Amino acid sequence: MNSCAGWPTTKALGVDHHQVITVDKVTLIVLAKSIIRHENGKQPYSEATFEKAFELL
């Protein structure tokens, strides 16, 4: 079984794994960075990349 309690995204967002998050620009960018860092071992993208990505939503 995969426990959510230790997920890097919950730590990066500062939330409990059962908590509903607010879907806003700041939260989505933090979430994206956390997922990228977890999956790739690093987060190589600039802040401008995330800003542009958010504009496309």
Does residue 37 fall inside a structural domain?
A: yes
> How far separated are the first and last CA of the chain, in Å rounded?
33
Residue 33 · residue 12 · CB < 8 Å:
yes
Does residue 3 fall inside a structural domain?
A: no
Q: What separation in angstroms does the CA of 14 have from each of 34, 36, 47, 48?
A: 12, 17, 20, 23
Domain count along the chain: 1
Does residue 48 fall inside a structural domain?
A: yes
Does residue 1 fall inside a structural domain?
A: no
Domain encompassing residue 25: 8-55
Does residue 41 fall inside a structural domain?
A: yes
- Give the pLDDT of residue 7: 74
Q: Per residue in 1-47, pLDDT tens?
A: 555 556 777 888 888 888 888 899 999 999 999 999 999 999 999 99
